[in-house]
Amino acid sequence: MLTYICKRILSLIPVLTVVSVVIFSIIHLTPGNPARAILGPEASAEAVAALAEEMGLNRPIVVQYFSWLGSVLTGDLGYSPFLNRPVTEAIAGNLVPTLQLSTLALLVAVAIAVPLGTLAARYRGSIVDSLTQGVTLFGLAVPSFVLGLLLMLTFAVNLRVLPVAGYTNPFTDPLEGLRYLILPAISLGGVLAAFLTRTTRAAVMDVLMADYIDAARSRGVVEGRLLFRHTLRNAGLPILTVIGLTFGSLVTGSLVTETIFNIPGLGTLLVNSIERRDYPVIQGVVLLATLLYLLVNLVVDLLYAVVDPRIRYSEEK
């Protein structure tokens, strides 16, 4: 198992190399002089030249790439002239709210989707199923920012039970922190929940047709146990796959959600940095998002082996 994990981690290297090239090119893909873009049209030619010199823009591009890569590998993502502090520091400050938001959104999605999808599959064709299908269709059709605004309007503006926007760290004040995070988490997790419910329904329906379900039933196993022990674990693989793949949409979704709910996360940082062309920060955030995505999918792959012994054993042989 350990060698399998190591191999999987090593396999990330080529992916990250390609990604690093793409991210590095961001700065050179925009037309014009990046230093000029950063400083704006008012800046003097000398200031632009000085910044270009400082950023190493005058050196050959391959040299620039390797020097950038070298500093990235040593944990130095550069310096943001706008924030006046190192990029790593800026990201570290904004990472926690984003991680909290996406984790909570994922939990919301799983908590809604797995039971709902399972019930819909078990009672296929019933009212529960039709309602589920309708609601998930709605969830898939409504963009998360519309859902966010609707939630905000209902719970914060009209009912006044939750704050409109803002952020308090749940680690320092759990209750207050959750009150701030719950609406953004629902609006971000809602779309994912809709997608995941449909996947769960299809996967569970597939498994329910399997002989071993009838076989367990023929041994007198109670229905609830059939559904939750026999079926769900087998339906787990497709559900996990979808969770891993849609994690990317959580990251991009958080850009919008954080902006609407004014959460000082990576999304807000990225949007602001794009507006002012703060290239080092953009590069840092995108690199981190990619890394997170890859790591989540690595964890999903490892969970496959936990869920399905056939995968575990074929790897060990």
Taking CB under 8 A as the rule, does residue 314 contact other proteins? yes
Q: How far is the CB of 223 from other proteins (least distance, A)?
A: 8
Q: How far is the CB of 134 from other proteins (least distance, A)?
A: 21
Is residue 224 part of the contact set for other proteins (CB under 8 A)? no
Contact between 160 and other proteins by CB under 8 A: the answer reads no
Which of 1, 141, 210, 295 is the binder for other proteins (CB under 8 A)? 210
Beta bridge pairs of residue 89:
none
Amino acid identity of 223? Answer: E
* Of residues 88-147, those binding other proteins (CB under 8 A): 124
CA distance 179 to 279: 34
Q: Is residue 222 part of the contact set for other proteins (CB under 8 A)?
A: yes
CA dihedral 262, 264, 269, 270 (to 10 degrees): -60
Compute φ and ψ for 265, nearest 5 degrees: -110, -170
User: Which of residues 53 and 214 has its CB atom nearest to other proteins in the complex?
Assistant: 214
State the DSSP code for 142: S
Closest to 200 measured CA to CA, from 229, 249, 233:
233
Determine, following the binding rule CB under 8 A, whether residue 315 of this chain makes contact with other proteins: yes
Q: By CB under 8 A, is residue 84 in contact with other proteins?
A: no
Of the CA atoms within 13 Å of residue 231, those in its CB half-sphere come to: 29
Residue closer to other proteins, measured from CB, 104 or 239: 239
Our CB check for other proteins shows the closer of 234 and 273 to be 234
Pull the structure tokens for residue 252.
């991009």
Please report whether residue 42 would count as binding other proteins according to CB under 8 A: no
- Least spacing, CB of residue 97 vs other proteins, in Å: 37
Q: How far is CA 19 from CA 9, 87, 290, in A?
A: 16, 18, 8
Minimum CB–partner distance for residue 201 and other proteins (Å): 16
